[in-house]
């Protein structure tokens, strides 16, 4: 559907442009998280890890954690590490919701545009060099890829956690062998 409103039940007509902007912004956030999660899952199952210790006080190394499944890896991260991750997410959320003016729900605001975090999302300044038409195509591409990533990561999680949810007669490998063609 791209940047057009798709509402087969007519629910979009019930809301204001600000409400639709809120929904689009939420969709873009979920798309970005899903894209990061999907890539993160692939990195986790491939065994790629940082050198050194994840926690000096607990003696947990990144290599030890990389030998676990992705969900076990999250459980193995020390509490302070999880707190740092959640704090970083909170800072990004705070900056995207309360510091950017005009707000994406106000007139002139654009869903998904994180002006206050531009150097975070586009450190090379590539979007400033694009024409308006190309930037719009890139945004549409981000939205479509994000929707695919949402389906992809939920599919991977279901396949990992619900035995028999994948109707394949073979034991499909979900490990480093999946990534080997791309290395």
Which residue ranges make up the annotated binding site for chlorophyll a? 6, 27, 30, 142, 145, 147
| Binding residue numbers | 6, 27, 30, 32, 142, 145, 147
How crowded is the C-beta side of 63, counted as CA atoms within 13 Å?
4
Place of tokens 């409103």: 5
Sequence-separated contacts (24+) of 61-65 with Cβ below 8 Å: none
Binding residues for chlorophyll b: 32
Q: How far apart are alpha carbons 149 and 121 in whole angstroms?
A: 18
Q: Which long-range CB contacts under 8 A does 95-104 form with residues at least 24 apart?
A: 96/29, 104/21, 104/22, 104/25
The answer to whether the Cα torsion of 106, 108, 109, 112 is positive or negative is: positive
């Amino acid at each position: 559907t791209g940047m057009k409103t798709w509402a087969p039940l007519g629910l979009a007509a019930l809301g204001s442009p600000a409400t639709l902007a809120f929904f689009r912004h939420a969709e873009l956030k979920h798309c970005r998280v899903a894209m990061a999660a999907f890539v993160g899952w692939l990195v986790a199952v491939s065994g790629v890890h940082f050198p050194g210790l994840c926690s000096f006080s607990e003696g947990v190394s990144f290599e030890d954690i990389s030998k676990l499944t992705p969900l076990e890896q999250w459980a193995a991260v020390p509490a302070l590490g999880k707190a740092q991750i959640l704090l970083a997410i909170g800072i990004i959320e705070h900056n995207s919701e309360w510091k950017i003016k005009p707000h994406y729900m106000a007139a002139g605001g654009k869903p998904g545009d994180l002006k206050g975090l531009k150097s975070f999302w586009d450190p090379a300044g590539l979007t400033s060099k694009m024409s308006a038409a190309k930037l719009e195509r890139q945004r549409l591409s981000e939205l479509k890829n994000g929707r695919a990533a949402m389906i992809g990561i939920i599919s991977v999680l279901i396949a990992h956690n619900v035995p028999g949810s994948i109707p394949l007669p073979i034991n499909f490998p979900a490990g480093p062998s999946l990534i080997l063609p791309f290395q």
